Structure 1
Amino acid sequence: MAIWCARLSVDRWRLSLAPNGEGVERGCGPDAEPTVLITETAHGPRVDAVNDAGALAGAQPGMMLADARTLCPQIQTAPADPAGDLAFLEKLAIWAQRWGPWSALDPPDGVLVDITAAAHLFGGERRLLDDVDAAFAKRKLTVRAGIAPTAGAAWAMAHYGAQNRGARLILGGHEDPMRRLADFPVAALRLDGDVLTVLRRLGLKRLGDLADITQGAVNRSEAAARDALHRRFRNRKSPSANPLIRLDQILGRVPEPLLPVVQHTMPLVQRRLMEPLRHRSLLDQVLADLATDMARELEGRGEGARRLDLGLWRVDGEVIVRRLEMAAATREPAHINRLFAEKLEGIDAGFGIETVRLRASWAEPMDVDQRDVEEAAERHGTSLAACLDRLSVRLGPSAVRRPIPYASHLPERSQIWHHPLSPESAAHAIVEPRARPLKLLDRPERIAVLYASPDGYPQRFRWRGKVHEVNRVEGPERIAPEWWREKSTVRLRDYYRIEDDKGRRYWMYRHGLATDGRGGMPDWFLQGLYA
């Protein structure tokens, strides 16, 4: 079953203005004035959705706001919220599992529900559609639902099926699908806009026209058209760019993989208090109990918390929320209590707090407690992750940074500063470790080097006004420039580990070769110092 939320953005905007559903009927409330939902683009505001009054005034999705105001100068605007629409659609997909064992997203405004062997529980497919219409009408959402043996056919029925009766949006398994879908436009194949333009230029406007060409040819012209169609789209592997694949999916010849939406419940513990709390000491005791319960809950799931939300419900109805983010997953109650102690300073309990709730809104898999060195350090307050958590709570998360390895062979780019509470990106891969000095200069400093030949080992060098005699040399280690981000004339580097006559060790490199044809004689730079 395909459920199409035909006015998802507009319905969400309208319900946000009237959350109780009052005044949201057609012709009154927010729909009484022409309104469009817009998105800012490089060429100006673009219309993403239009309410009924705006559509009557001539506004259409996809046009620029300036064009819409030319047709209707008094049109009102509101910002579009694509991310909010997608989040709402995910919740809707989970809620729609009341009609089937699993559901999948059909962005940007649809949901697919598997109702195999489930329709009889509602009295048949027709009554199932009636139940869907009633459930969404109760929530003031405009939807159309269609049922078919395949996901593509159900989508086509919901979007382009006849609207007079619910039974007309049902394609039975015993029916010939092309007989019902032949008059549907080629847009029912869920194709990209440029592909639809190509099909229209070829004179293919209905599914029946496309099916006749792909299945067989009556005359020579149809055979030529079929061969041209196969040649044009045979190399396109994406279903949305290949009408032949989409048609086979609708007819059930090719399977269409769908990704089910799985509800992931967040760990939550709470206390409903018999007497409201007004003193900080009692609140700390309740928080300690909740932290212990949360640790037990997380341990049972094999996870650790990265973000915790503490909600305090006061007697007068006001809710106080405090959020805590941590640099590493944890389920240590003492650590959680210590961090929340900073967050609870200055809490106004009013006439008392009657409910305390702790929820882990971000959890990550965590290994079983092995009592290792890191855990022992955390128990004594010396863990790096615990230190980052304390600094973030006291100074603010934007005031703390930590260095992490970065996928670059150039020493000055081999690490970047990262937010301590954000997960590391997969792009921050660790390059093969090599011997590097503990101290790198902020910028490589030019030095004067005396050597036997332009490409030979250095024998003496001058750095910061002092001359150093070279006793030992190791190298070179050659590092090529990053050609994908630098000019082709950048020279390579040959790195050397140098020890002078006083036992001090340096890390320097020769920038270029005398024979590379990318400049004159090579320059020397000192970049690091060994301890």
Structure 2
Amino acid sequence: MEQLSRRILAIWCARLSIDRWKMSLGSDQAAPKGEDALPTVLITETAHGPRIEAANDAGLDVGARTGMMLADARVLCPQIRTAPADPAGDLAFLERLAVWARRWGPWSALDPPDGLLVDITAVSHLFGGEARLLADVEAAFAARELVVRTAIAPTAGAAWALAHYGTRSRAILEPTPRGRDMMRVLADLPVAALRLDEDVLTVLKRLGLKRLSDLTDIASGSVDRREAAARDSLQRRFRNRKSPAANPLIRLDQLLGRVPEPLLPVVPIEMPLVQRRLLEPLRHRALLDRVLADLAADMTRALEARGEGARRLELGMWRVDGEVITRQLELAAATREADHITRLFADRLDDVDAGFGIETVRLRASWAEPLAAQQGDVEAAAERHGTSLVACIDRLSVRLGEGAVRRPVPYASHLPERAQSWMPPLANRGGSALAVEPCERPFKLLDRAERIAVLYASPDGFPQRFRWRGGVHDVVRVEGPERIAPEWWRERSNVRLRDYYRIEDERGGRYWIYRHGISGDGRGGVPEWFLQGLCA
């Protein structure tokens, strides 16, 4: 009952791509009048040639259809005109519409590629009822020259189905206490109203399931033994398909409100941006540094007002000839210190070619994190002078390149070569390392264990003499063994265990060696010996 009490508004921009193309004609002063009345299609390049993604009214009249190859459309109308499709631009435009559509509800969600969903629960009375709310929606979109179909229903699936396949451009499905009552209204809609993939629709068509009423009787498992067998067959066919778009039973339950359907609201994030439009184009580095210092101070005030610090900054410089020069800076930790930002960007401006002059400079924080105000201390004073740890890491990263500064952290593994990993110097590990019990390890580990030639070894014991890097070493003292078993959850079953020894030769050199395998373990031939570290 609680699920059915919700009210979801579905808005389908039925001709989003074409409407955006018409807007571009209206904004272009050089566009010929009446050009949108000519047969025109929007195309994308494919491996088999251009394919039609959308067509205007004149194009539809001559037979052009979405998904048709352009060559086939030219057979019907040789004079048909083409324009490139812009899916990325359509999605960006849809995101802006989603933010704008929050005037009708507390939150809105995207329904790609051309739809929106708005939660209008307990909101319609502010517009004089749901009918007037739909009228207001259509009037607002018509003012923006967008053709829409709208519907209101208790669930997102039902609203989507009515908006796309309903008989009217405006539809309202009243709340009902039972899903079967809702299905009586939606029974005549095609199964495509369930938002299924094309291959699933093809399977349902071959099974003779064309309308929601055909699918409802089977899915509900009502009365007939034959219907029960058909339901079991349908459940077996789509049992392993966890995606809602690939399982008609899940989609049907979402449409009727039997299972919840998660929706991701669109949350607009406005990142801080400051800029300077210069009265006279600047060509000298000293003037550019002064403008950068002013922008850094403005950015600091903007970030402080939001209680945030910048992690990534983008500096854009517009030249008189139209070329845009960009520089990006990624920081080790959130900051809003103007001097620190200016100092880091100074190393990135040495190769800037001002040409005939730079007339606009813009600084934007594309990534910001919460940063609380702190009382000044020794570290803050050191950062102002460029001597703090964060400032040092940032300067090293700028000069040596990203990824050049890392710090070791313990890793949960008994194998010495896997007992540590590397991460950014100031990054939070995000939980316990689950490290193994600390063991005494050599002062220096080799990058890769080196094989040693054992000249004499006692059975299942340590070597009495071995050769390494051209020198022969006689063993005088031994400590061990420390047995390390292979990681069975990560290695293959034939990996051999290791026995580690600390040894000292006649010259006082101390080494960390291990025997790889045991005689007769059934996992290989004669055990091999390796030297992996130098002891203090």
| Shared fold, TM over 0.5 | yes
> Aligned ranges for residues 78-89 of structure 1 at < 5 Å?
86-89=91-94
- Tell me the SS of whatever aligns to 1:180: helix
Deviates further, 231-240 or 334-343: 231-240
Structure 1, unaligned stretches of length 5 or more?
A: none
State the Cα distance separating 1:503 from its structure 2 match: 4.7
**1:205 aligned to 2:210?**
yes
Residues 140-195 of structure 1, C-alpha deviations (whole Å, 9 max, x = no match):
55543322221111111122112xx533x332336953233111112212234454
Within the candidate set 367, 391, 400, 1:362 is matched to 367
Of 38, 41, 49 in structure 1, the residue corresponding to residue 53 of structure 2 is: 49
Aligned ranges for residues 55-70 of structure 1 at < 5 Å? 60-61=66-67, 69=71
CA gap of 1:46–1:68, structure 2 versus 1, over 3 A, is closer
How far apart are residue 211 of structure 1 and its match? 2.3
1:177 counterpart (182, 185, 197): 182
Out of 5, 10, 28, the residue aligned to residue 2 of structure 1 is 10
Please name the residue that 2:342 is paired with: 337
Q: Is 1:325 aligned to residue 330 of structure 2?
A: yes
Q: Tell me, yes or no, if structure 1 residue 37 matches structure 2 residue 44.
A: yes
Give the 5 Å matches for 1:234-245: 238-245=243-250
Instruction: Give the TM-score taking structure 1 as reference length.
Output: 0.76
* Aligned-CA RMSD value: 4.8
Asked if residue 480 in structure 1 is aligned to residue 483 in structure 2, the reply is no
Task: State how far apart, in whole Å, the 1-side matches of 2:264 and 2:437 are.
Answer: 39
SS of aligned partner of 2:196:
coil
Aligned counterpart, 1:262 = 267
- For 1:263-342, list aligned pairs within 5 A: 263-270=268-275, 281=286, 283-299=288-304, 301-311=306-316, 321-342=326-347
1:430-449 alignment runs, 5 A limit? 432=436, 437=442, 439-449=444-454
SS in 1 for 2:334: strand
Following superposition, the deviation at residue 334 of structure 1 comes to 1.9
Q: Separation in 2 of the partners of 1:459 and 1:330?
A: 59
Match of 2:511 among 503, 506, 512: 506
In the TM superposition, 1:81-230 aligns within 5 A as: 86-137=91-142, 139=144, 141=146, 143-162=148-167, 165-167=168-170, 169-173=171-175, 176-215=181-220, 217-229=222-234
Q: Would you say how many aligned residue pairs link Structure 1 and Structure 2?
A: 516
What is the CA deviation profile of residues 373-408 of structure 1, one whole-angstrom value per residue up to 9, with x for unaligned ones? Answer: 97676555455654453355456658x464766968
Residues 1:39 and 1:197: Cα distance change in structure 2 (over 3 Å): same
Aligned mates of 1:479, 1:31 — CA distance in 2? 76
SS of the aligned residue for 2:105 comes to coil
Indicate conservation of the 8 Å contact 1:404/1:415, yes or no.
Answer: yes
- 1:386-397 alignment to 2 at 5 Å? 386-394=391-399, 397=402
Tell me, in whole angstroms, the C-alpha distance in 1 between the residues paired with 2:469 and 2:163. 77
SS at match of 2:153: coil
Q: Which sits farther off after the overlay, 67-76 or 286-295?
A: 67-76
1:467–1:267 CA distance, 2 compared to 1 (3 A): same
Shift of 1:463: 1.0
Q: Deviations over 1:238-271 (max 9, x none)?
A: 5444433432332234332322222222233456
Whether contact under 8 Å (1:184, 1:206) holds in the other structure is: yes
* Residue aligning to 1:20: 27
**TM-score w.r.t. structure 2 length?**
0.76
Say whether the 8 Å CA contact 1:36–1:51 is kept in structure 2: no
**Contact 1:406–1:428 (CA under 8 A) maintained in structure 2:** no
Residue in 2 that maps onto 1:348 = 354
- In the alignment, structure 2 segments of 5+ residues that lack a partner are 1-8
What is the aligned-residue identity percentage?
64
Partner deviation per Cα, 1:290-344 (whole Å, 9 max, x = no partner)? 4344335435545331211234567998865443222333222221110122334
Q: For 2:44, what is the secondary structure of its paired residue?
A: strand
- Provide the rounded CA distance (Å) in 2 between the counterparts of 1:438 and 1:116: 66
Deviations 1:489-522 (A, max 9, x none): 4444444444445554433332233223232111
Q: What secondary structure sits across from 1:343 in the alignment?
A: coil
Mapped contact 1:299–1:331 kept (Cα < 8 A): yes
Work out whether residues 3 and 145 of structure 1, in 8 Å CA contact, stay in contact via their aligned partners in 2. yes
- CA gap of 1:204–1:371, structure 2 versus 1, over 3 A, is same
Read off the aligned partner of 2:111 and give its amino acid letter.
D
C-alpha spacing 1:222/1:3, structure 2 compared with 1 (3 Å): same
Give how far 1:450 is off: 5.4
Alpha-carbon contact 2:317-2:358 (below 8 Å) kept:
no
> Are 1:521 and 2:531 counterparts?
no
Q: 1:475 to 1:180 in 2, by over 3 A?
A: same
Classify 1:220/1:106 alpha carbon distance in 2 versus 1 (closer, same or farther; 3 Å): same
Deviations 1:267-292 (A, max 9, x none): 33456778887765555445334434
